[in-house]
Structure 1
Amino acid sequence: MSVTIATLTDVPELVVLINSAYRGESSKKGWTTEANLISGQRIDAEGVAEQINDPEAIILKNTNDDGLITGCVYLQKQGEKVYLGMLTVSPELQAGGLGRKLLEAAEDHVRSINYHTIVMTVITTRTELLEWYYRRGYTKTGEVIPLKITERNGILNQPVDMFRLEKKI
């Protein structure tokens, strides 16, 4: 596993990977799909480029031996905490430990920049995903946030709420 920082040259490949893992038929091969709750794309090239260009943010990517991006995770400084989002693993590779390795790499990065708290949001009905994060030390903060997105990031098929999770590292 090779985890490095994504650059603008990675944008097209990241867009395909992220959308394939979260939305549409391809996402149903994995267990992180949101396709039944949200239709449309998860992110576009402009959105990924904005994240990469944000001086307070970083996308870590995993590449395989052939140089293909197989996973990624987004980190953004927010005050004294770091927001973790878009933890993505190719649907064909899910449930093989890559997500855990990316999460560990993200936590290592957060420690390396001298931050000590990671926050994230997870859809409240995604019990298997919530359990996965609980096993890795993340806990609910008690905050429930309604998901609000523009059509650029999908179309809600129903109202969706998110739990805010946190972990001290």
Structure 2
Amino acid sequence: MSRRDHYDSLNYGSTSRGAPLKDKVHLDGFTSSDGEGYQLSGEANDFDSQCQEMSNAFQSISRNTSQMERLVRQIGTPSDAPGLRRRLGDLRSSVKEEVSDTAQTLKRLEETAREPGRRHERLRIERLKSEYYDTTKRYRNLLKIWLKPILQRLKLESKKETNN
């Protein structure tokens, strides 16, 4: 028996000799029902979709932080108005909620990735954590530098109005 005949006789799902694999083959989060290609299993697909949702949330946080920066620059200018300040407050609440939700999702994914045999997921989580930190850093800096004094001033103004 030649070497080629030997390997062909082993039939690792080959369709050239013998029958193709009919049963599902599970390989590190991938399944194949026909032996020709692999699709993500439900668990891996869920992990991927949660990672994609996190990336979308990072983009949303970044976009809303940019809007907040533009609104903050308008405070104290002729275009300053109560509607602008309400919009700023709404954006701040929205971003705060997104940051919190994203942190919780990241923790859940991190716990999942701690299971044995999940090296690829752990590496992906590390990248997501880094992206989370970078994305939220700009938001945190905006709150510390610009919004904190503005919000304190607004509180003082509202206290003066209620006292009068």
TM-score (ref. length: structure 1)? 0.23
More strand by share: 1
More helix by share: 2
Higher-Rg member (1/2): 2
